[in-house]
Chain A
Amino acid sequence: GAGVSQSPSNKVTEKGKDVELRCDPISGHTALYWYRQRLGQGLEFLIYFQGNSAPDKSGLPSDRFSAERTGESVSTLTIQRTQQEDSAVYLCASSLGGYQGNTEAFFGQGTRLTVV
């Protein structure tokens, strides 16, 4: 696609439910990132995929959070048993990957998650 696409754009869920967020990166981009941004705050790194390497999951805040990526395409971020503190905008970004030199990251518009 022309840019990074995220769906849904907005999600309201009840506390305790599971949610799945989707990210379609730019075609050919080997690197994919998930970030969380709470209201009025900065970026919080969650997870990083680079090609076929093992993902860097060091930013996942708890075992309720997991993410998968199929090859170099779509990624899903799953939050199980959602809590109110999970409410935030979840941003996905993709880039060509470090092996290509300049690795400008392109961001999607994010999924705004509200847990009620």
Chain B
Amino acid sequence: GEDVEQSLFLSVREGDSSVINCTYTDSSSTYLYWYKQEPGAGLQLLTYIFSNMDMKQDQRLTVLLNKKDKHLSLRIADTQTGDSAIYFCAEIIRYDYKLSFGAGTTVTVRA
């Protein structure tokens, strides 16, 4: 089973905000990542956050990190049809430095 947990599906109306949630396992993870996989394509890094930060903003993307609860979220403002994709949360497992991915959240943007 997956160590990193994500909800599997999210449907959002175009123009609304999307919030994708993730729960990770290693409280000593140094970096946490969000990857995006568009239909028929490979995974690409979307954004990441260092563990000493609570929030990181990059244009329409906002990453929030709650270390106490080991909760990571990605907010996409003004969601567009091009944002339809699978979003993967990932953490570094400290003891062997392995990247561990969640199962992915499929985001569908409807008109």
Please give the residue numbers on chain A whose beta carbons come within 8 Å of chain B beta carbons, in ascending order: 31, 33, 35, 41-43, 45, 48, 50, 53, 56, 91, 93, 95, 97-99, 101-110
Q: How distant is the Cα of A3 from the Cα of B86 in the complex, in angstroms?
A: 21
In the complex formed, the residue of A with least CB distance to B106 is A40
Given A98-B92, A104-B48, A108-B42, verify A56-B98 contact (CB < 8 Å): yes
Q: What 1/0 mask marks residues of chain B from 81 to 111 whose CB sits below 8 Å from any chain A CB?
A: 0000010101010001111111110000000
Q: Is B66 interfacial (CB-CB < 8 Å)? A: no
Q: Across the interface, do B102 and A42 meet the contact criterion of CB distance under 8 Å?
A: yes
Instruction: Name the distance in Å between B50's Cβ and chain A's nearest Cβ.
Output: 8
Q: Across the interface, do B86 and A105 meet the contact criterion of CB distance under 8 Å?
A: no
Q: Is B53 interfacial (CB-CB < 8 Å)? A: no
Complex partner residue of A43 from B30, B48, B104, CB under 8 angstroms: B104
In the complex formed, the residue of A with least CB distance to B41 is A109
Q: Across the interface, do A95 and B99 meet the contact criterion of CB distance under 8 Å?
A: yes
Nearest 8 CB-CB pairings of A with B: A98-B97, A42-B103, A42-B104, A107-B43, A107-B42, A43-B101, A109-B42, A48-B98
